[in-house]
Chains A and B, each alone.
Chain A
Amino acid sequence: MATTSTQPVFIALQANNDTMPIIEAIRQDNPNAVVHDYPAMVKIDCPGRLVIRRETVEEHLGREFDLREIQVNMISIAGNVDESEDEFVLEWRSA
């Protein structure tokens, strides 16, 4: 579902070995995402909508991945969440 909002959503993850393939998958699936590196933390902003796709994470990780595993390394999020087996979506609806 497309959103017309350009307000920034974000996800912040711990900077560690578990999250490297997730961050790579986010970059690949969200061309507008901007990745900020902070001490111990990576914050990824994206206008309107950000998606994490299970299949893309699995490609980078080289094994099966349950999107709920993200919760172990997630620091914060902004945006409405919608989660299924295949996608974890953050989204603002209004402009």
Chain B
Amino acid sequence: MAAEGNSKPAKKLSLKENYALLTRGLGWEPSYEKKEDIFRYISFEGVKIHDWDKWEDPFRLTMDAYWKYQGEKERKLYAIVDAFQQHNGQFNVTDARYVQALKLFINGITELEYDSHRGFNILAREFPGVGPRIAAQMQSLDELRHATTQIHTISQYAKYFTGMNEFPYQFDRVWYLSIPKSFFEDAVTSGPFEFIVAISFAFEYVLTNLAFMPWMSGAAFNGDMATVSFGFSAQSDEARHMTLGIEVIKFLLEQDPGNVPLVQKWIDKWFWRGYRLLSLLATMMDYMLPKRVMAWNEAWEIYYEQNGGALFADLARYGIKPPKRAPETIAEKGHVAHQMWSVFYGVRDAVGFQTWLPSDEEMAWMSEKYPDTFDKYYRPRYEYWKSLEAAGTPFKNATLPQLCQVCQWPCLFTESGDPTTLSLRESEYQGQTFHTCSDGCKDIFDDTPEKYVHAWLPVHQIYQGNCFLPGVDPTAPDFNPMYEALRYMGIKPGIDGGDYKGSADATNWENWTSRPANIHEGAYTDAVRDTANPADASARKTS
């Protein structure tokens, strides 16, 4: 079906014809190599594809259009990044607490963009169909763009704030960054169909709206021109990727009824894994945005319960059901942000960002947003910790937490329906006991234990002595295991983490901007008073 020839001037092709020529016309059947030797990984998962030409790519983005629009996006973005840097935009955010969230972003999320680039590269090589191969190739390039634009944009913050200058090193070593790392590496080491269901559908289609809509809108609301710009620029690609996700699902389900249970199993698994990963966002939204747009429970209602409900109603005609563990996510929505922030606060000396207790203003907001849970379970805890801080005996948790063998989060979540009991599950495999945080993670472990027994669990590794820099002597009289483990992870003890008040970031913020480092608590240092009360300042200058 290739073009007839070059002799007569071509009539302008329709979008559909143009795309068909790109995806079908440029493909070919191998003549001297066997198909199964070329596409080596396409059959072992048990997925059956009878006709790759049935693949429909709704965007029908041809190469010329792809480069044109991607180029336009880059020019727009870099114009803003230049303006941001030239105008010291890093000082225009609400306060430096907001910057702590960017540390999680550059250290834990940007690397996932790069992993995603690698994953889609593999698909672009391994899928026999030309349509999905081109879509995967474009996505692979998009993901590389996301990684590089995030690194460029956040580099301006890294010049002024702590904890952002070792991101590739930290990603492979920091204990809580194993959560995103293990998530994506689980996906990349799956077969091609599980990978695309995991990332394109369960993660991008069902869940990433939570990251890029309410959180990025919150970044805009807090004055972060740079992050919003890379976020929305990336998201313009993401809208295309999401469509790939839903097309993949429909294609697999329509190709063979035998694919339905496989797809359902992957949806159940990756919805839960993605949900666990993204619950970090619950904390970023509710605790780390000084000015808030929306609470996590509201975002979950809009982006999962409402939109996910519409999606799974649409897929019901194929026999697909909503994710098995969706009810747990709905039951947890009033708890997860508070439980997670409590854990980060407790271990604040062992993380690469600073934490604080919520102010009275913030707790009043949480009482309003979480009427059934906050005052009952979490306000009393924060008020008690505030009284300990006031008494000079702040609460700290000096032991490292029990991690879940699957999601690698500390086992910090409570039982659905009983927020005073920690949720802990155990499985036996080859005579050993493995711990998981929830029924969702236990399902995943029990289905493929041989994959998860290999998990590199940072806390285990630290306690086994595998996380110290060369030359460190654990038998030395002044050996401090926590200090040495942090150094190994690339975290500067006492600088990158700890209490926000009194930190280098908070103090520098007030010196450089003359504005309070915490808008809810007033000035921590004298540097702010000069502008807060001009009469004072001029009096001081003349005296």
Contact = CB atoms under 8 A, between A and B. Distances in A.
Interface residues of B, number: 42
A77 to B, nearest CB: 5
Contact of B16 (A9, A43, A84, A93): A84
Interface in A7-51: 7-10, 12, 14, 38-41, 43
Nearest to A9: B310
Contact of B69 (A5, A10, A39, A69): A69
A55 B414 CA distance: 54
A7 B235 contact: no
Interface stretch (B167-175, B211-219, B268-276): B211-219
Nearest to A8: B310
Contact of A68 (B65, B214, B239): B65
B295 to A, nearest CB: 14
Interface in A50-95: 68-69, 71-85, 92-95
Contacts of B314: 5, 7, 80, 92-94
A95 B316 CA distance: 10
Given A75-B239, A83-B58, A40 B209 contact: no
B228 interface: yes
Interface stretch (B240-248, B256-264, B384-392, B508-516): B240-248
B92 interface: no
Interface in B73-128: 73, 76
Contact of B242 (A41, A68, A76, A83): A76
B69 A71 contact: yes
A76 B59 contact: no
B235 A76 contact: yes
B61 interface: yes
Interface residues on A, range: 20 to 34
B239 A77 contact: yes
Contacts of A68: 59, 61, 65, 69
Closest 7 CB pairs of A and B: A7-B310, A40-B220, A81-B58, A39-B221, A39-B220, A74-B239, A38-B217
26 contacts: A5-B314, A9-B310, A12-B213, A38-B293, A39-B220, A40-B221, A41-B220, A68-B59, A68-B69, A72-B73, A72-B236, A73-B236, A74-B239, A76-B213, A76-B242, A77-B242, A78-B310, A80-B246, A81-B58, A81-B59, A83-B15, A83-B59, A84-B16, A92-B313, A94-B314, A94-B317
Interface of B: 14-16, 58-61, 65, 69, 72-73, 76, 209, 212-214, 216-218, 220-221, 228, 232, 235-236, 238-240, 242-243, 246, 250, 293, 306-307, 309-311, 313-314, 316-317
